[in-house]
Structure 1
Amino acid sequence: MKTSSNTVFISGGSAGIGLAIAKKLSAAGNKVIINGRNEERLQNALKELDNAVAIRGDLSVEAERIRIADELAAKHPDLNIIINNAGAAFMNDLSVAGNSAAEKAHQEMNTNYISVIHFTSLVLPQLLRQDEAAVVNVSSIAVYRSNKYVPTYSASKAALHSYTQGLRDTFAENEKLHVFEVYPPLVNTEFSAEIGGASGIPASEVADEFLAALELNQVEVPVGDTKQIHALINPIIEQLPH
């Protein structure tokens, strides 16, 4: 795909991986639309970007998803890339009684999976009208192996991974629509602070890998430690019927 002159919507674009990607895309000559829940953070992020606007809203809420999709259609008819990056993650020790494990899991699954499916379905008709378009889902190294610290987060990202594969297969014969999946390992962001993010890679590394993959139309985008796992597993997965 081209890496400039796109119009790109990035959920969770006011900080972390989303903002890092927004900076790279903005610097490359793309129009960037960042989304987040906090207006102050959005405005601060805009100061670091060129040719960018913000749409405040919580994509985990159905009415907000519909409103944002309508605004994109009305004000940004040239939208051709959406990056589903917004997420929720909690430390969720399943051995601790009364830790609201199911409530945390519900929030993670809603934000990381259900909301992505619904929002993508709302925006797909607009994307399909473009000469070239992409859906980019930011999943995680956790799609391959969960652990005792983030079991329900990992499950939500595994669900997103499976959906992404299905979406890609659905539009496999449509040469205009590309479905990317970005697999970051642990990344040092405010978002990941609760799950040990301080020891992770910089968000800029994820952004660099994504931009390189976009240029090559490489729809599978493993980053950092995920590359070794992906190299072992993906050739096997590609041999399965799909």
Structure 2
Amino acid sequence: MKTTNNTIFISGGSAGIGLAFAKKLSAAGNKVIINGRNEERLQNALKELDNAVAIQGDLSVAEDRIRIAKELTTQYPEVNIIINNAGAAFMNDLSDSKNNAAEKAFQEINTNYLSVIDFTQLVLPHLIQQKDAAIVNITSIAVFRGNKYLPTYSASKAALHLYTQGLRDSFEENPNLNVYEVYPPLVNTEFSAEIGGANGISPSEVADELFLALEKNQFDVLVGESKKFADKL
């Protein structure tokens, strides 16, 4: 699909991978709408971007999702790409009987999976009216194999992965709507600091891979270490 003159909504766009997407796409001549929970962080991110605006809100909260979807589609009717990037992750030691594993898993499933389904459903009627539209879901290398440090996070991203495949299949006969999935490995962001993110790749590498994938209509976007799992797609 085209990689310029789009209007692109990016959840979790004030930092990390989301901000890297915003920088790459705005520099390429797209209008970018970033979303995040913290207004101050959003405003600081806007200082680093051209042709960008922000919509504050927490997509894990139903009332905010409804408000954001309405504001997005009414104030920016030209929006044609949605990047579902916002996420939650917790170290979750399943061997610790004092650890509230279910509560952490609930937050991850709500943010990383259920909220994405609901928000996507809210904006889909608008997207399918566009001549060239896309939904981009950010999953993880963790969809290929969970680990003991992030078992429930991995499960939430695996659920999003299967939903994304189903969404893509549902619209395979619609040439105007493409569904992409990005599989980042460990990335050096504040989000991943607790699990050794300093050893990960840069957020800009993930953004570069997505940009190339959009150019080539490559719907599965493997990044860095996740490329070794290409045969599992």
* Aligned residues between the structures: 233
Q: Distance in 1 between matches of 2:113 and 2:193?
A: 21
The answer as to whether partners of 1:16 and 1:203 remain within 8 angstroms in 2 is yes
Give the superposition deviation at 1:194: 1.5
Contact conserved, 1:105 with 1:152, CA < 8 A, in 2?
yes
Runs of at least 5 residues in structure 2 that lack an aligned partner in the other structure: none
CA distance in 2, matches of 1:153, 1:200: 18
Aligned to 1:111: 111
Alignment of 1:228 onto 2:224: no
TM-score (norm 2): 0.99
Separation in structure 2 between the aligned mates of residue 61 and residue 149 of structure 1, nearest angstrom: 26
Whole-Å separation in 1 of the counterparts to 2:8 and 2:208? 16
- d(CA) in 1 for partners of 2:7 and 2:186? 28
Q: Tell me, yes or no, if the aligned pair for 1:90 and 1:195 is still in contact at 8 Å.
A: no
Equivalent positions of 1:8-19 (< 5 A) are 8-19=8-19
Q: Is the 8 A contact 1:36 1:57 kept in 2?
A: yes
Structure 1 unaligned blocks of 5 or more: 235-242
TM-score, normalised via structure 1 length: 0.96
Instruction: Identify which range, 187-196 or 54-63, moves more after superposition.
Output: 187-196
Partner-residue secondary structure (3-state), 1:225: helix
| Aligned counterparts of 1:61 and 1:192: Cα–Cα separation in 2 | 23
For residue 211 of structure 1, what is the aligned residue in structure 2? 211
d(CA) in 2 for partners of 1:99, 1:197: 23
Matched, 1:80 2:80: yes
Runs of 4+ in 1 over 3 A off after TM superposition: none
Give the letter for the 1:229 counterpart.
F
Separation in 2 of the partners of 1:36 and 1:192?
A: 17
Tell me which residue corresponds to 2:170: 170
Matched residue, 2:35: 35
Provide the rounded CA distance (Å) in 1 between the counterparts of 2:144 and 2:195. 17
Deviation string 1:25-69 (CA, Å, 9 cap, x unpaired) is 000000000000000100000000000000000000000000000
